[in-house]
Amino acid sequence: MQRQRYVSDASDKKKGGFQFVIPPKVQENRDALNVYLQTMERLQEAYDALRDLKIPGEDARFVLPNAAATNLTMTVNLRALLDFYAKRRKGSGAQWEIANFAEEIRRIVVEQEPWLAPYFEESKKK
Protein backbone atom coordinates (compact mmCIF):
# COMPACT_ATOMS: atom_id res chain seq x y z
CA MET A 1 0.00 0.00 0.00
CA GLN A 2 1.19 3.50 -0.71
CA ARG A 3 1.93 5.09 2.63
CA GLN A 4 0.74 8.67 2.85
CA ARG A 5 3.50 9.31 5.36
CA TYR A 6 6.10 9.14 2.59
CA VAL A 7 4.17 10.53 -0.36
CA SER A 8 3.60 14.26 -0.59
CA ASP A 9 0.06 15.27 -1.47
CA ALA A 10 0.95 18.96 -1.80
CA SER A 11 -0.75 20.73 -4.69
CA ASP A 12 2.57 21.99 -6.05
CA LYS A 13 3.87 18.45 -6.61
CA LYS A 14 3.83 16.58 -9.92
CA LYS A 15 0.43 14.97 -9.38
CA GLY A 16 -1.15 18.28 -8.34
CA GLY A 17 -2.38 17.31 -4.90
CA PHE A 18 -4.07 14.32 -3.39
CA GLN A 19 -6.07 12.10 -5.70
CA PHE A 20 -9.53 11.07 -4.58
CA VAL A 21 -12.44 8.82 -5.44
CA ILE A 22 -15.87 10.24 -6.25
CA PRO A 23 -18.71 7.91 -5.20
CA PRO A 24 -21.14 7.10 -8.05
CA LYS A 25 -24.16 8.59 -6.24
CA VAL A 26 -22.27 11.87 -5.80
CA GLN A 27 -21.10 11.81 -9.43
CA GLU A 28 -24.72 11.46 -10.61
CA ASN A 29 -25.97 14.51 -8.69
CA ARG A 30 -24.63 17.86 -9.97
CA ASP A 31 -25.31 19.73 -6.70
CA ALA A 32 -23.75 16.97 -4.61
CA LEU A 33 -20.74 16.85 -6.93
CA ASN A 34 -20.19 20.60 -6.53
CA VAL A 35 -20.28 20.29 -2.72
CA TYR A 36 -17.94 17.30 -2.87
CA LEU A 37 -15.39 18.98 -5.15
CA GLN A 38 -15.43 22.19 -3.11
CA THR A 39 -14.79 20.14 0.03
CA MET A 40 -11.87 18.33 -1.60
CA GLU A 41 -10.42 21.69 -2.65
CA ARG A 42 -10.69 23.04 0.93
CA LEU A 43 -9.03 19.91 2.28
CA GLN A 44 -6.19 20.33 -0.22
CA GLU A 45 -5.77 23.95 0.91
CA ALA A 46 -5.66 22.84 4.56
CA TYR A 47 -3.06 20.17 3.80
CA ASP A 48 -0.92 22.66 1.87
CA ALA A 49 -1.20 25.25 4.70
CA LEU A 50 -0.07 22.69 7.28
CA ARG A 51 2.89 21.66 5.13
CA ASP A 52 3.79 25.36 4.64
CA LEU A 53 3.86 25.60 8.44
CA LYS A 54 6.48 22.80 8.40
CA ILE A 55 4.07 20.19 9.76
CA PRO A 56 5.40 16.75 8.70
CA GLY A 57 3.45 14.97 5.97
CA GLU A 58 2.53 12.13 8.33
CA ASP A 59 0.74 14.65 10.56
CA ALA A 60 -0.68 16.92 7.84
CA ARG A 61 -2.32 13.94 6.11
CA PHE A 62 -4.83 13.67 8.96
CA VAL A 63 -6.94 16.31 7.20
CA LEU A 64 -7.24 14.13 4.09
CA PRO A 65 -10.54 12.26 3.65
CA ASN A 66 -11.32 8.56 3.46
CA ALA A 67 -11.74 9.20 -0.26
CA ALA A 68 -8.00 9.86 -0.72
CA ALA A 69 -6.72 7.41 -3.30
CA THR A 70 -3.75 5.15 -2.66
CA ASN A 71 -1.78 2.44 -4.44
CA LEU A 72 -1.80 -1.10 -3.14
CA THR A 73 0.57 -4.01 -3.57
CA MET A 74 -0.52 -7.28 -2.06
CA THR A 75 0.50 -10.89 -1.75
CA VAL A 76 -2.15 -13.53 -1.19
CA ASN A 77 -2.55 -17.26 -1.65
CA LEU A 78 -5.30 -18.61 -3.91
CA ARG A 79 -7.46 -19.92 -1.08
CA ALA A 80 -7.48 -16.55 0.71
CA LEU A 81 -8.04 -14.70 -2.57
CA LEU A 82 -11.07 -16.82 -3.49
CA ASP A 83 -12.46 -16.41 0.02
CA PHE A 84 -12.06 -12.62 -0.21
CA TYR A 85 -13.68 -12.58 -3.64
CA ALA A 86 -16.65 -14.70 -2.54
CA LYS A 87 -17.34 -12.34 0.36
CA ARG A 88 -16.74 -9.04 -1.46
CA ARG A 89 -17.71 -9.57 -5.11
CA LYS A 90 -20.55 -7.66 -6.72
CA GLY A 91 -23.86 -9.09 -5.59
CA SER A 92 -22.49 -10.20 -2.21
CA GLY A 93 -23.85 -7.19 -0.35
CA ALA A 94 -20.43 -5.56 -0.10
CA GLN A 95 -20.15 -1.78 -0.42
CA TRP A 96 -19.60 -0.66 -4.05
CA GLU A 97 -15.98 0.37 -3.56
CA ILE A 98 -14.78 -2.97 -2.15
CA ALA A 99 -16.97 -4.88 -4.64
CA ASN A 100 -15.33 -3.01 -7.53
CA PHE A 101 -11.93 -3.74 -5.99
CA ALA A 102 -12.73 -7.46 -5.75
CA GLU A 103 -13.89 -7.55 -9.37
CA GLU A 104 -10.77 -5.73 -10.55
CA ILE A 105 -8.55 -8.19 -8.68
CA ARG A 106 -10.43 -11.09 -10.30
CA ARG A 107 -10.04 -9.49 -13.74
CA ILE A 108 -6.29 -9.00 -13.31
CA VAL A 109 -5.69 -12.48 -11.90
CA VAL A 110 -7.70 -14.22 -14.65
CA GLU A 111 -5.98 -12.09 -17.31
CA GLN A 112 -2.60 -13.28 -16.03
CA GLU A 113 -3.67 -16.86 -15.22
CA PRO A 114 -6.74 -17.78 -17.33
CA TRP A 115 -6.91 -21.29 -15.85
CA LEU A 116 -8.13 -19.70 -12.57
CA ALA A 117 -11.40 -18.37 -14.08
CA PRO A 118 -13.49 -21.43 -13.11
CA TYR A 119 -12.38 -21.11 -9.48
CA PHE A 120 -13.77 -17.57 -9.30
CA GLU A 121 -17.03 -18.76 -10.86
CA GLU A 122 -17.23 -21.56 -8.29
CA SER A 123 -16.68 -19.06 -5.45
CA LYS A 124 -19.81 -17.17 -6.61
CA LYS A 125 -21.91 -20.28 -5.88
CA LYS A 126 -20.88 -20.45 -2.22
Identified catalytic residue from 51, 88, 89, 106: 88
Burial level of 111, CB count in 10 A (0-12/13-18/19+)?
Answer: exposed
Asked if 5 contacts 57 with a C-beta cutoff of 8 angstroms, the reply is yes
88 assigned to active site:
yes
Count the alpha carbons within 13 Å of 48 in the hemisphere toward its beta carbon.
Answer: 13
Which residues are identified as catalytic? 88
